[in-house]
Amino acid sequence: MDVEAAARQFVEEHRGLPDAEFLRARFDAGLAWVHFPAGLGGLDLERGAQSAVDRAFAGTPSNRPDRIGIGLGMAAPTILAAGTAEQRERWLRALWTGEEVWCQLFSEPGAGSDLANVATRAVRDGDGWIVNGQKVWTSMAHEARWGLLVARTDPDAPKHRGMTYFALDMHAPGVEVRPLRQLTGEAEFNEVFLSDVRLPDGDRLGEVGDGWRVATTTLMNERVAIGGRSAGREDGLIGIVAGTWRERPELRTPALQDALLRLWVEAEAARLTGRRLRQQMAVGAPGPEGSAVKLAFARLSQELSGLEVELLGEEGLRYDDWTMRRPSSVEMTGRSPGYRYLRAKGNSIEGGTSEILRNIIAERVLGLPGEIRVDKDVPWKDLPK
């Protein structure tokens, strides 16, 4: 199938439609994410065919992936892997068109890096569930229609086996979203309080007690979504810093040149590694290798933003962007050096902390002995709180 020709023909036949109608028609034609099944926005093709489709749709109405990245990169693969046929049909179309924004309700005040230790409770109540608890560091909760929720359904089981995964209606009674002002001055993140929220069993993803396995699917895709984006040479922060170096010769010193050359090489190696990972994903689901890509991304972002501030000297220390805003996306390249420096600090936390990712790489990629886990078979209710 010449998918690029089909996409170009679609563009010609649907030119002039309102944005929302155009996007819905594109999804229905299977030209949204072509590796998804037919009828769910795809054509059962290999992932590699997507680049040709994207070229054909350049300049057409966009679903704003910067705004719905959680839905595209995390919710959609999870729904496809663990959802029922009815759930896929109900959620995927509005997710891809951007009509329904998704967020991720994983982290908690007492269970950040240790996701399996979540305390938010979901208790059976007739044909549904009653949910109580608190989530934190939730991006896009202030705009989201749905949330990916992991909750404790069996406190008598060990922590990895007592969780269940749900899609939560963020407009349901009892859901309260509060902004968390961060280092940059913005409130990109939120804390979410769940008070007697009623959740229908039809919004459960996967089997009861199988939440850890389903959550792992989300996390693996999240790390690839954060660190494995498709990029050209000198895209992103490395391009900004290299551009400043070329345009401002008065800023150069031998030490800064050595630092820039080292980071340029590392950024190129990370870019090529990310390309190889996407090629591997074309024939299967993401594995633990995505943790290495995300780990490299976080370190490079922090080192490059630090080098940019150092390169600019006093000019790099200026930061006057303290306005309290609720952004709908994170755009590192279109902001000031001071913003990039401050925001990059979060890269080693979001999507799994760098410390946790190193454990995953050591155990699942390198095959090193795992850490001793004394709580592995202990009922969650008996663990120290």
Give the CATH number of domain 215-365; options: 1.20.140.10, 1.10.3720.10, 3.30.379.10, 1.20.1250.20.
1.20.140.10
Class of domain 102-208: mainly beta
Q: Give me the long-range contacts of 312-316 (CB less than 8 A, separation at least 24).
A: 312/244, 312/251, 312/337, 313/251, 316/341
Task: Output phi, psi for 108, to 5 deg.
Answer: -135, 160
**Domain locations along the chain:** 3-62, 102-208, 215-365
Of 218-227, 265-274, 313-322, 337-346, minimum mean pLDDT range: 218-227
Two domains, one topology: 102-208 and 215-365: no
Q: How confident is the model at residue 195 (pLDDT cuts 50, 70, 90)?
A: very high
pLDDT in tens, 128-170: 999 999 999 999 999 999 999 999 999 999 999 999 999 999 9
Query: What's the whole-number mean pLDDT along residues 16-36?
Result: 96
pLDDT tens, position by position, 267-295: 999 888 877 776 666 555 566 777 788 88
* Catalytic residue selected from 222, 289, 303, 308: 222
Alpha-helical runs (H) found in 64-177: 69-70, 76-82, 85-97
Catalytic residue check, 222:
yes
